[in-house]
Amino acid sequence: MSEPTGLIPTSVEKGHRVVRRFIAARLVYGIACSFSYAGFQGILPFGAIGDGAAPDSIPCGHESALATIPSFIHQKSVQTKTPSKNGSLSSHRKGTSGKAVYALIACVLILSAITYYFTRPGQDVKEEPTLPEGTSPQVEVTSIAIYSDSGASETSVRALEAMFLWMNCSVALVDAGHINSLGLQGFDILCVPGGDMYQYSQDLSYRGKENIRGFVNGGGGYIGVCGGAYFASERVVWLGRQLPMTPLSLFPGTAEGPCDGIIPYPNYTVCRCNIVDHAHPITESEPEALWIAYCWGPLLRPNPGANVTVLGMYDAVNEPSFLAFEYGGGRVFLIGTHPEIEEDGDRDGTDWAEELDDRGSDWPFMRKVVLWLAG
């Protein structure tokens, strides 16, 4: 799976830019003042401004420092005093040394080079850093809330947290009490993990559900994984009957499972999901199919005419396995499988399903999901 890049300049980098330009300005100012003072004191061959007399004080303003250069350019000679044959001091004009001209030109070129290096336009563009192996470049979104309360699978929560941290996102675990009373202010995405969707509907009050819907409608993102996908639907069918629960109803459709056509309940497996829409930003660079862990997840059936994009289909039953859609000003991604699980690896922080064959990590795919939700 190809991995997109999505780096942006941060406020810290902008601060570094300001510091670089301040340092460059002070360097130019300091060197110019030094040359100005040296000229006034007669240390350098181009002497002082005007009649060659040293000033009473060292010039410290930009005007005084920069005035040294034009005075030197227009001054053809400097006045010096040497002993005459009879021992008295006589004044005469001595031509300015050509070496001084070359020295000044060299200094100007050096100053120009320093200024360009610290303030060049390229400093305004952040280049992608070299990251340690196994680390994902940072995505634009940085604040993700994972629902973690009664009914939530500890395995799913732990693996989701590891996956989002791999993306360099900040992650917080929130419970029903937090959502019911405080909502999701300060977060960019809410992720509801695998688990008991009926329990979710009991613990999240009417106000809590309204807070989630308002969060997404106002521009937030929602990721529903397995149980979180069930919970987000208008109707939830479990083992052939509709559950008497109040779901979140973000998804205009029905979530029905588990599916014995994939594997008989209560077993689990790795299943093939065929990509059916390669025009969507999430799946445009994906291969023809993904192999993802399945554990009692839903078939996601949109209502007729619903404005929903089905992205993947379960190969075994040709039913929707993951989809995406907009909800007001926000976006929603639902998936019936478990892309957070690394079946034969331990970087997800769990040992669940390690006996299964992982035909490639699904984390890069989920990073595209996060980027789309944040777009």
User: Three-state secondary structure along the chain?
Assistant: CCCCCCCCCCHHHHHHHHHHHHHHHHHHHHHHHHHHHHHHHCCCCCCCCCCCCCCCCCCCCHHHHHHHHHHHHHCCEEEEEEECCCCCEEEEEEECCHHHHHHHHHHHHHHHHHHHHHHCHHHHCCCCCCCCCCCCCCCCCCEEEEECCCCECHHHHHHHHHHHHHCCCEEEEECHHHHHHHCCCCCCEEEECCECHHHHHHHCCHHHHHHHHHHHHCCCEEEEECHHHHHHEEEEEECCEECCCCCCCCEEEEEEECCCCCCCCCCCEEEEEEECCCCCCCCCCCCCEEEEEECCCCEEEECCCCCCEEEEEECCCCEEEEEEEEECCEEEEEECCECCCCCCCCCCCCCCCCCCCCCCCCHHHHHHHHHHHHC
pLDDT at 236: 98
**Residue ranges of the chain whose pLDDT lies below 70:** 1-141
pLDDT at 121: 43
pLDDT at 32: 56
Total-model pTM = 0.66
pLDDT at 358: 83
pLDDT at 242: 98
pLDDT at 176: 98
* Class for the domain spanning 143-374: alpha beta
pLDDT at 13: 41
